[in-house]
Structure formats: C-alpha cells, structure tokens
Structure 1
C-alpha cells in the first residue's frame, strides 16, 4: 500500500497563541495553513510516523512500541503532515486478524464484548508532535480512523487504551466510558485503563457538530473540529479508491 493523501484540514493555531491580523500589509487575507492526513503503511511516511511515535513515547518514559508490519486488511496507520513534516500518527486495529493490543492487558474485557456480539476496533499508537497542539490534528486522525473502522469496514465498537491520567480527557472530548482497569500495559510499561464508545454515538456527534469549529467554545468536545458530512464523503471515496488501486496492483504483481 502506498501513502496517499486522504484528507486536508486547516491547522489552526496552537492553544494560547495570539490571533494575527486578518489582513496583511497589502490588505489581503493570508492563506490558511493546512495539514494533510495520509495512509502511512509503507515508505518514508511510515518511517517518519514510527520516529514520531518513538520520540513521544520515550519522552513520556514509555517503552518503545512498533508500528504493525502487516497493514493489508486489519491494520491501518495514519499520519498527519504539515507540508512534509509528520505531526501526528494513529493506528487503527480491526478485530478478526491478529489479536488487538487491548487483548494483552484486558483480554477478559474484550472477550466479554465479543461474546456480546461487538465488532471491536482499537485506536492505538497515538502520537502528536507538541509543536502541533491544535485539536484539529487529533480530531482529524480520529475522524479518518472512524471512517476506516465504521463507515467502510462496519465495526461498531471503539476501544482505546490510555494512561489513567488522560482518561478524563477522552471521556469529555469524545464521549468514551471507562470499561476496564487500571492495569499494567506490558507493551509500554505503564498503567492503562480501557475506554470504549459505540461508533453510532460518534456518528451522531459528528452529524451534530462536525465541520463547525466556531462552536468549539460552546461545546467541550473534539467533534466541532471533525470534518463536515460533505468532507467525510470525499474521504470515504479517496480511501475506497486507494483500496481498489492497491488491490489491482497486487493482482498485477501476482500475474507477473
């Protein structure tokens, strides 16, 4: 799978930065600074995403984790780029192939969810460059991950493993609920709790607030920074086109 741009969004300003003048000396409005979200399954994008992940985990004192090697069906790594600099990464793990990361510390919880009929998707290996503290980056990565897991692959339940100190953020900003923990996450050598949300709930929140960043001051969540419904349909089309293109490449390689 080759890296392709699947979404574009305004980067906005880091929290606390003064708002610049809307017009420059020539009277024109400055061009809005944009970032892109790409698949990062191979090549330089994957290497740069792995480097950011390694740096941020090391800074927090966590053990190093690796990006999944096989990203042909049940694993998708996304990366956010400011021009060519990687400023964020997130990996979507879909249940049904390899075990989920959450199975290591919360195997009893995930087993119970499966027994109840849930189709599980875990968002893991999240890292954001501290120089890109805009909530738009996190919202964009989560939204594209949601599109991969729910809109395209029809999984219904999101899982997140986070440090207990960060649980309240995801409860408030995404509407997640703690369903397990705290326990030791062997992969990073730190405590973790397991959070969950139904993708139907996330869909409804995106429908209400997505594409309306002006509402962020009134709604304490990430959803106003999500993409609009119109933008979401375009992202779906690009992701599906990428899957079709990659499958055609695989078939041609098999014939040669």
Structure 2
C-alpha cells in the first residue's frame, strides 16, 4: 500500500460520520423540480475491485441489517453514540456497501434533498440555505463506517466512485455537504477538495464536535477529470484511485440498466 493510500484509508475508516440507523437505496427518486423523475437501480449491479464487491442496496436487501450493525459497532468503538438498526425506508437516501466474501466491510450513505431537508440542517441550515437560495440542488454524505479488520483503501475507493456516479451522473446534484470531526477536516480539504463552510458545533446525533464541509459538483467533476485513471502518479488526490472517466460512464449505465 502506498503512503498516500495508507493515509487515505486510515483517516476515512477511523472517522464514521452521519445519522442514526440505516436507510436502504431508493426504488425511485422524486426531483422537487420534476415530480416525474424516476431512477431504478439495477438489482444485479456489482462493482468488483481487488476482491471486494461494491453494491447499492435496495429496500429489501438482506445486507441492510448487517449494515446498520456495522455502523453501530464502529461508532460505539470510538466513543460515539451507538446506532440502532431500523427497518424504515427513506427514499431520499441511498446506501452503498463493500463486501469481501460473506463479510460486510464498509458502508456509506448519500442523502439527497427532495424538499424535506438534510440532516446537516440540524446544525447548519443557514449555510445550506445559502446554497439553496442560489438554486443549488444539495446532497450530503453520512453514515460512513469501515471495518478496520477487513476493509482496505480499495474497498473505500470503490464505494467513493459509486458515490460520485450517484452525485454527478444520476441525481445531478450541484453541491455536496459533509459533517466531519474538526481534526479530520484538513484531510477532506487537501485530498478531496472540500471547503470549510460551517464552524465547529456539537453534533447531537453522535455526541461529538463537527464542522461542515462543502464541495461544488463542478469542482468535483474537474478533479475527477484531472486525476482519475492516474493511480500511479504522485499527486495527492484521492480521485487518482478512480478509473478513467470513460469507465465511470460505463458503470453509470450498468447501475441504471434493468
């Protein structure tokens, strides 16, 4: 593992983020600007990466309970408030998981604002509303957890590239938010391109300090185009672990094919 990959994996696996419980992937998505928009994910979609299988969960997926317990276990092990599984389906949310054989090794969730708000609004509604007023279509990343015994930077990179496809190609959001622990904000800024937009506050969901970070989708696209497919380069960008833009487009088509 290169020093860069080791650092990336260390930071992201050791700081889970988000809200209590599990929300499986939506069978459909309602755009507040177009109530007829519907996305159906291919139930057989799998991204294979270095022995890991990356999947997008549907509402009845057998992995959803194990995903909730992985989040609970990883959060509790770091002194954060424990998470409990829930069977509720929230169509704003899409859950991405990484598996190795029968083992669930990682998960993260994308939440899209369909008119009912984001979790980040609890602490940072003023900051998020500033983007909404400009016509921004906002989303957030939550519920990141990696099993330290079985996960790897390859599993993490696979989940993040599917996240990118959902953000930029499927939902076509304009702005991404993420609440992180203040001591990890620098990592997200240096290697993932985020900017600090919300000062430190106590997050009631996990009982820990948090800051709000923001990434414009146009900037994200620029970073992916610049670094994707250059895994052997010395550039300090997480996006160099992505495949080429052409390969990402192929994955997009596979994810939505029936």
- 1:117 matched residue in structure 2: 135
Cα gap change, 1:186/1:49 in structure 2, threshold over 3 Å: closer, same or farther?
Answer: same
- In 2, are the aligned partners of 1:65 and 1:187 still within 8 Å (CA)? no
- 1:153 matched residue in structure 2: 171
CA distance in 1, matches of 2:82, 2:165: 28
Tell me the CA shift for residue 186 of structure 1. 0.9
- In 2, are the aligned partners of 1:40 and 1:49 still within 8 Å (CA)? no
1:38 to 18, 35, 55: 55
Please give the secondary structure, in 1, of the residue aligned with 2:98: strand
- In 1, are the aligned partners of 2:105 and 2:151 still within 8 Å (CA)? no
Higher relative contact order (CA 8 A, sep 6+): 2
Cα gap change, 1:92/1:136 in structure 2, threshold over 3 Å: closer, same or farther?
Answer: same
Instruction: Verify: 1:234 aligned to 2:253, yes or no.
Output: no
1:197 to 215, 221, 228: 215
Instruction: Verify: 1:136 aligned to 2:190, yes or no.
Output: no
Cα gap change, 1:131/1:231 in structure 2, threshold over 3 Å: closer, same or farther?
Answer: farther
Tell me the CA shift for residue 66 of structure 1. 5.4
Give the TM-score of the pair, scaled to structure 1: 0.78
- 1:30 matched residue in structure 2: none
Instruction: Verify: 1:165 aligned to 2:183, yes or no.
Output: yes
Q: Once the two structures are superposed, what CA deviation does each residue of 1:180-201 show, in whole Å capped at 9, x if it has no partner?
A: 0201111111110000111121
Q: Once the two structures are superposed, what CA deviation does each residue of 1:212-234 show, in whole Å capped at 9, x if it has no partner?
A: 2212xx11121111132232122
CA distance in 1, matches of 2:218, 2:178: 16
Cα gap change, 1:4/1:101 in structure 2, threshold over 3 Å: closer, same or farther?
Answer: farther
- In 1, are the aligned partners of 2:97 and 2:108 still within 8 Å (CA)? yes
Cα gap change, 1:5/1:240 in structure 2, threshold over 3 Å: closer, same or farther?
Answer: closer
Please give the secondary structure, in 1, of the residue aligned with 2:232: helix
Which sections of structure 2, spanning at least 5 residues, go unmatched? 1-26, 28-41
Give the TM-score of the pair, scaled to structure 2: 0.77
- In 2, are the aligned partners of 1:67 and 1:125 still within 8 Å (CA)? no
CA distance in 1, matches of 2:229, 2:148: 24
Tell me the CA shift for residue 238 of structure 1. 2.1
Instruction: Verify: 1:222 aligned to 2:238, yes or no.
Output: yes
Please tell me whether Structure 1 or Structure 2 has the larger radius of gyration of its CA atoms.
Answer: 1
